[in-house]
Amino acid sequence: MAAVRQGVGGDRVAVRAARPDEGRTIAGLWRELWDAHEAWGGYAGTRDERIYDQLAQRLSDDARVRGGQPVLGRHVHLVGEAEGLVVGQVEGWFERHGVDEATPFTCEVRSLIVSSRARTRGVGRALLEGLAGVAKQLSRGTPVVMAAEVLEPNPAHAFYANVGYTAVSWTARVPTEGAVEPGGGLEPLTARLATPNDALPIALLDPSLAARRRAQGDIRFDRPRAVDATFVGALAAHLAGPSASHDQSELVVVDASGTVRASASLTVMSLDPPFLPARRGLLGRFATDPALDPRPLMAPLVRLGRRLALVRGAATLELTDLDPPGGPLHEGAVLAGARAWSRIVERFA
């Protein structure tokens, strides 16, 4: 599979699957990407040459397994070639976020990088167009949402805007160090781990989350759905499962009467090489009682999320799925000590 596209100034950019002999070149692109992310405040990459040697071998083995095709399972990998040299690459992850067949497929744009020596020549645009084309093939022609996370200091914001991507979701980040135990139970709003008994109130909050996402233009997820016994039962089973006490947890905020007023999901994961060994904490899926101001509901969620993420080895906690800066959820995150970290940008393929 290969497609030739006109770049800026008439340059010809070939977008195709990687070849087995290109692992080291692509690993060098990854290194350039991780170095840039670290300079923007992202997670640190390794300086161990052995790790990049292993990455190069893995990329070559992966290309050999693919046999000249860009798709393996749900993963898409493309490189951009100009003047006979590989000067860029992009990955995509194809899936549907939800159970509603009306929800469009999403292709998540990952690790898009164009070598500094080949920028402004249309390689990045060509790679995104190539990825969108593969995604449309996987979806059999139905609409596909192309989505990318862009760190706030990344100058690529202008690039994504120029190729038609629009911001629909925001992330802030807060250090976990200094996280404290909740107070002595006298606060009007407190956060705790959810239990199976919270399944119904969490389910009743879910439509507010779905409606907020749609209002922000984020169409990757299901529309608001009816709360039925099947949904509540599945949620109760999830809350009773082993993940509730390990790296995945549901948190709720309750008022003085014990009524659930907000919920969120906490995930802590390990970063893979070539990142340095580290744990990443994410707190998202914020669903709040539409009758209340979301700002004060964020503080107890963030406080508990920080404490749990710290215990589970994460130095920072990302607050994902927020509304735009100036919105109540975003303001609540800032009041809880978080700072702007990234945003999700989207467009239809």
Domain that holds residue 100: 2-164
Q: What is the pTM of this model?
A: 0.92
Q: Which residue has the higher pLDDT, 180 or 21?
A: 21
Same domain, residue pair 86 and 142: yes
User: Which residues, including other chains, have CB under 8 Å from residue 23's CB and lie 6 or more apart?
Assistant: 55, 56, 57, 58, 59, 60, 61, 63
pLDDT digits (tens, 9 = 90+) for 123-143: 999 999 999 999 999 999 899
Cα distance between the two ends of the chain: 19
Residue of 333, 274, 313 whose CA lies nearest to 42: 274
23 occurs within a structural domain: yes
- Answer whether residue 335 shows pLDDT above 60: yes
% of the chain with per-residue pLDDT over 90:
87
- CA dist., res. 314 & res. 274, Å (int): 18
If one counts the domains in the chain, the total is: 2
Last residue of a domain, one of 146, 164, 182: 164
**How far is residue 296's CA from residue 307's CA, in Å, rounded to a whole number?**
18
* % of residues, the chain, pLDDT over 70: 94
Closest to 322 in 3D by CA, of 303, 300, 298: 298
pLDDT value of position 141: 87
**Range of lowest pLDDT (19-28, 34-43, 204-213, 234-243):** 234-243
- Residues 202 and 235 placed together within one structural domain of the fold: yes
Looking at 119, 139, 164, which one is the last position of a domain? Answer: 164
Q: State pLDDT tens for residues 303-326.
A: 999 999 999 999 999 999 999 999
In angstroms, the CA 90 to CA 76 distance is 8
Please tell me the predicted confidence (pLDDT) of residue 241: 79
Res. 343: pLDDT tops 90: yes
What distance in Å separates the CA atoms of residue 302 and residue 179, rounded to the nearest whole number? 9
- Looking at the structure, tell me whether residues 132 and 107 fall in a common domain: yes
Q: How confident is the model at residue 194 (pLDDT cuts 50, 70, 90)?
A: very high
105 plus 237 within the same structural domain: no
Tell me the pLDDT tens digit for each residue of 56-101: 999 999 999 999 999 999 999 999 999 999 999 999 999 999 889 9
Res 200 pLDDT > 80: yes
Q: At what angle do helices 23-39 and 49-66 cross, to 10 degrees?
A: 130
Of 164, 183, 212, the position where a domain reaches its end is 164
Residue 348 falls inside a structural domain: no
Q: Are 122 and 13 in contact (CB under 8 A)?
A: yes
Q: Which residues contact 100 (CB under 8 A, 6 or more apart)?
A: 222, 223, 225
CB-based contact 112:36 (threshold 8 Å): no
